[in-house]
């Protein structure tokens, strides 16, 4: 049974939300960040990059305190206002490709995360968990929800559809040509129907935000220990989430690019590949695979298709069936000598949402020697891996939707 609750969000005023909302800090180039910081005084980037005010790079605990200061200033200036009633928030995104995403922003339970009601499919790095936990404890808020997915539910869908007939509280379009909408739900009957619907679900799955979830659990443990009157209902017992039905979740692949052939010549590399794959030279025309367990490869100015010789590979778990794992088991580790996918600097990743030509350009620039493409993982694979308590390799999926930071804020 999943516990999902409404909460009192801190939100920008209607007239400023389009100016406040930002992508994640890391997704901007330096030039993009500087332009927004120079010309938009309301951008949420001013909060997460507080050193800009002093023309200085600031990190660590000093930065955390300044983030808190900038956030307080936005509230004092009336840019952010806290809602008076606990609410669920329907969030809708229509992207430039006319894909539509509908979900509910709500508070998900840390206990559910600890008890595996909320299941994960990725490993987290402890040091990153601790850093973000310390950040959250100092600033006292979270502005970027964890993306959770749930089985399609008629009752929830019906309420979302009905509420969306009303005028939205927010409607704004970004420079990426994505249009965002937000509606409040604080009607007692609707809130109960949504809460009960989630309570009847055995499992929710983390689609994106494993470190944020883990850090929220660490923070809860710490604050619980410090609070002698802890009762389990404090806001730190929950974390902000965007819950989206499985049918509307979009999974893209990640391309892999590798800097060298691990001391092998091109011919030696292809001969070793031939043991595991049937190889076809596709020439200079870009090639993308269309089936699981097939890969594209770009090497020395030409594309190749790689078809797995299945008699040489055993599928014992759901993880074995995942192409990102298959590529690691058959090529990246045994042939190219890349054993640590998180830390080896010889490998890099490129979102499959971009064209395969981007992979070609990286290799042609001589920054990398070889590149690999694959078909996206499926939601069924992601769930099966989580159900078996296994974890995907890093950068196995690029998941949409991506929400903007600063539209709804959860305070501890």
> pLDDT tens digits for 115-149?
999 999 988 888 889 999 999 999 999 999 999 99
Residues 79, 16 contacting (CB under 8 angstroms): yes
Paired residues of 41 in beta bridges: none
pLDDT of 176 reads 87
- The fraction of the chain above a pLDDT of 70, given in percent, is 100
| pLDDT score of 56 more than 90 | no
What are the helix (H) ranges across 59-151? 60-76, 110-114, 126-139
pLDDT digits over 366-391, tens only? 999 999 999 999 999 999 999 999 99
C-alpha–C-alpha distance, residues 18 and 172, integer Å = 6
Q: How many residues does the chain have?
A: 412
Q: Give dist(CA 84, CA 82) in Å, integer.
A: 6
| Residue-wise pLDDT tens digits, 265-295 | 999 999 999 999 999 999 999 999 999 999 9
Secondary structure in 3-state letters for 4-16: EECECCEEECCCC
* Coil/strand/helix, residue 86: coil
Architecture of domain 254-396: 2-Layer Sandwich (3.30)
**Number of other residues whose CB lies within 10 A of the CB of residue 25:** 14
Confidence band, pLDDT 50/70/90 cuts, at residue 38 = very high
Q: Report the DSSP beta bridge partners of residue 185.
A: 88
**Residue 139 and residue 197 in contact, taking contact as beta carbons nearer than 8 Å:** no
d(CA 216, CA 56): 29
Where residue 245 falls among pLDDT bands split at 50, 70, 90? very high
- Under 8 Å CB-to-CB from 217, ≥6 apart: which residues? 110, 113, 114
393's CB contacts (< 8 A; 6+ apart) are 322, 324, 325, 328, 341
Q: Degrees (nearest 5) of the Cα angle 46, 51, 55? A: 110
What's the Cα-to-Cα distance from 292 to each of 109, 172, 182, 246, 390, rounded to whole Å? 35, 38, 37, 20, 20
Contact 180, 171 (CB under 8 A): yes
The answer to whether the predicted template modeling score (pTM) of the entire model surpasses 0.75 is: yes
Residues 60-115: pLDDT tens digits? Answer: 889 999 999 999 999 999 999 999 999 999 999 999 889 999 999 999 999 999 99
Residue closest to 13 by CA, chosen among 402, 411, 404, 406:
406
What is the overall mean pLDDT for the chain?
Answer: 95
Boundaries of every domain in the chain: 4-249+400-411, 254-396
367's tokens: 């920054």
The DSSP code for 311 is G
pLDDT score of 363: 97
What are the CA-CA distances from residue 408 to residues 144, 177, 283 (Å)? Answer: 8, 20, 49
Question: Is the pLDDT at 405 greater than 90, yes or no?
Answer: yes
DSSP annotation string for 254-294? EEEEES--TT--HHHHHHHHHTTEEEEEEETS-----STTE
């Amino acid at each position: 049974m999943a516990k999902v609750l409404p909460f009192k969000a801190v939100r920008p005023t209607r007239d400023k939300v389009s100016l406040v909302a930002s992508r994640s800090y890391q997704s901007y180039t330096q030039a993009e960040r500087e332009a927004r910081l120079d010309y938009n005084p309301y951008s949420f980037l001013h909060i997460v990059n507080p050193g800009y005010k002093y023309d200085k790079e600031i990190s660590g605990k000093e930065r955390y305190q300044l983030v808190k200061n900038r956030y307080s200033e936005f509230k004092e200036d009336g840019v952010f206002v806290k809602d008076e009633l606990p609410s669920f928030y329907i969030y809708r995104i229509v992207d430039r490709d006319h894909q539509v995403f509908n979900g509910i922003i709500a508070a998900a339970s840390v206990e559910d995360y600890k008890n595996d009601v909320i299941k994960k499919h990725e490993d987290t790095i402890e040091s990153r968990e601790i850093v973000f936990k310390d950040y959250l404890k100092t600033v006292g808020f979270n502005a970027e929800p964890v993306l959770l997915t749930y089985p399609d539910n008629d009752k929830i869908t019906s309420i979302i559809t009905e509420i969306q007939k009303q005028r939205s509280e927010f409607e704004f379009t970004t420079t990426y040509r994505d249009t965002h909408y937000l509606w409040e739900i604080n009607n007692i009957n609707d809130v109960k129907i949504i809460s009960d619907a989630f309570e009847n679900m055995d499992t929710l799955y983390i689609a994106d935000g494993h470190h944020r979830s883990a850090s929220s659990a660490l923070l809860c443990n710490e604050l619980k220990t410090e609070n002698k009157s802890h009762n389990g209902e404090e806001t730190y017992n929950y974390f902000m989430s965007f819950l989206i039905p499985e049918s509307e979740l979009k999974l893209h692949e990640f391309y892999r690019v590798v800097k060298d052939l691990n001391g092998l010549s091109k011919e030696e590399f292809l001969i070793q590949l031939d043991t595991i794959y049937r190889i076809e030279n596709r020439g200079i025309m870009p090639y993308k695979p269309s089936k699981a367990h097939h890969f594209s490869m770009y090497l020395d100015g030409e594309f190749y298709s790689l078809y797995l010789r299945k008699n040489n590979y055993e599928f014992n778990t759901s993880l074995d069936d995942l192409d990102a794992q298959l590529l690691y088991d058959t090529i990246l580790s045994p042939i190219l000598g890349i054993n640590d996918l998180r830390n080896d600097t010889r490998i890099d990743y490129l979102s499959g949402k971009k064209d395969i030509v981007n992979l070609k350009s990286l290799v042609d620039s001589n920054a990398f020697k070889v590149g690999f493409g694959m078909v996206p993982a499926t939601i069924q694979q992601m769930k099966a891996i989580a159900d078996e308590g296994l974890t995907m390799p890093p950068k196995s999926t690029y998941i949409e939707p991506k929400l903007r930071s600063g539209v709804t804020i959860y305070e501890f």
